[in-house]
Amino acid sequence: MPRSELFPPIDPYQTGFLPVDEIHTLYWEQSGNPRGVPVLFLHGGPGAGASPTHRRFFDPGHYRIVVMDQRGAGRSTPLGEVRRNTTELLVEDAERLRRHLGIERWLLFGGSWGSTLALAYGQTHPERCLGLILRGIFLMRKTEIDWFLYSMRTIFPEAWATFAGHIPPEERGDLLEAYWRRLDSPDAATRMAAARVWSLYEGSCSSLLPSPELIATSAEDTHALGLARIEAHYFRSNRFTPEDRLLRDVHRIRHLPGAIVQGRYDIVCPITSADELRRAWPEADYRVVPDAGHSAMEPGIRAALVQATERFKEYR
């Protein structure tokens, strides 16, 4: 029977900080088998950061598990920094880390914004990729951003009311800019209050059934500040040109093994984007989890991702 549970907790065998410019220093770690198949875990958000649980999608006896906190996220410094923070720079950060660790080619594993970044990296450096395992597809298009800001209220009206309610009525015509004014405020309390509401909104809409663990993570200060500031910054300033670039350039990775895992009832990243991606990339293994939303920790999503990493053991 295919494995469906996460692997046991594991500690890194190596950690480090990689300066990438005069502003940003990135946290990275390696766990598992130092001589195993390299896999890069790309966290979501943007800005959410990685956690110890993310190491557990991979068999530590087979994989050399590389985790990196992206610019402004998690243990990277400065937290929430938006200067010199673009998709192109994140792609090159991953490439710099690959060279730093002496890795020739690696598997990419990313969910939500991590799927966006994995596609962007893969299409830029296909020769460095063994394959891609993607979850909760997000393609950074205006329709997806508008859905997050306004249309999730059709499914989660209570969460959206709290989200919109943090902004005075006269500013609600442009929630993104209203939030950004607060997230970029010189006053730390104003920034933190807005960040916590933003992060809790996303966390509240991320699972099919309410998840106290997910809500607790969303409310944590480091997670909330990194997620809200970086996410709002990317929504404002970092969309692709042309907007459908990730779909248009799928031909650059179609020769690579691919897996797409999508929750049927994913409200944060609705299934329409995953469906468009699988139509552009018909060779990829496409699995819709019928009883799941967005979170990678939902049982069906978790099982499908672990099964994907097990199937990909044949690729070296």
Question: Given 237, 257, 273, which residue is the final one in a domain?
Answer: 237
Is 176 found in the same domain as 130? no
Tokens of 73: 């996220």
Which stretches does DSSP call E strand in the chain?
14-19, 25-32, 37-42, 63-68, 106-111, 129-135, 258-263, 285-289
**Amino acid occupying residue 251:** H
pLDDT, residue 185, reads 97
Would you say residue 5 lies in a domain?
no
SS3 262: strand
Q: Is residue 4 part of a domain?
A: no
Whether the predicted pLDDT of 316 surpasses 90:
no
Tell me phi and psi for residue 301, to 5 degrees. Answer: -65, -45
Whether 8 is covered by a domain: the verdict is no
Instruction: Name the residue range of residue 29's domain.
Output: 14-141+240-314
Phi and psi torsions of 287, nearest 5°: -130, 120
Tell me the CATH number at 128: 3.40.50.1820
Residue 253 lies in a domain: yes
Q: In this structure, are 185 and 287 located in the same domain?
A: no
Rounded to whole angstroms, the Cα distance separating 10 from 25 reads: 24
Please give the structure tokens belonging to residue 69: 């906190």
2 is a domain residue: no
Residue 203 is predicted with a pLDDT of 97
Find tokens 């459908």 and name the residue: 244
Q: Is residue 280 part of a domain?
A: yes
Does one domain contain both 37 and 118? yes
- For the stretch 135-175, pLDDT in tens is 999 999 999 999 999 999 999 999 999 999 999 999 999 99
225 and 260 part of one domain: no
Domain annotation covers residue 3:
no
Domain boundary among 200, 222, 237: 237
Rounded mean pLDDT, 13-19 = 98
Tell the residue number behind the tokens 């209570």, with chain if given.
Answer: 158
Chosen domain end from 185, 216, 237 = 237
62 is written with which tokens?
A: 């087979």
178 shares a domain with 83: no
Residues 6+ away with beta carbon under 8 Å from 103: 38, 64, 66
Q: Which two three-digit tokens encode residue 270?
A: 């609705």
Which sequence positions are flagged as catalytic? Answer: 112, 266, 294
User: How many domains, in total, are found in the chain?
Assistant: 2
Q: For residues 134 and 23, give the distance between their C-alpha atoms in angstroms, rounded to a whole number.
A: 30
Residues 6+ apart with CB under 8 A from 292: 208, 263, 264, 265, 266, 298, 299, 300, 301
Bridge-based pairing of strands 14-19 and 25-32 is: antiparallel
In degrees and rounded to multiples of 5, residue 265 shows phi and psi of -110, 35
The reply to whether 103 and 204 lie within a common domain is no
- 175 and 204 part of one domain: yes
Q: Do 213 and 268 fall within a single domain?
A: no
* Residue of 38, 26, 40, 148 lying closest to 79 (CA atoms): 26
Identify whether residues 113 and 21 lie together within a single domain. Answer: yes
Assess whether 191 and 244 both reside in one domain: no
Alpha-carbon Rg of the chain, whole angstroms? Answer: 18
For residue 192, CA distances in Å to 7, 180, 182, 183, 185 come to 34, 12, 9, 7, 10
Whether residue 221 is found in the same domain as residue 136: no
pLDDT one-digit tens code per residue, 85-101: 999 999 999 999 999 99
Read off the tokens for 300.
């069906």
Do 80 and 115 belong together in one domain?
Answer: yes
> Do residues 61 and 41 touch, judged by C-beta distance below 8 A?
no
What does the pLDDT read at residue 18?
Answer: 98
Give CA torsion, residues 217, 219, 220, 223, to 10 deg: 80
Please give the DSSP secondary-structure letter assigned to residue 77.
B
Place of tokens 């799941």: 292
pLDDT digits (tens, 9 = 90+) for 103-125: 999 999 999 999 999 999 999 99
Note the pLDDT of residue 87: 97
Asked whether residue 283 is domain-assigned, the answer is yes
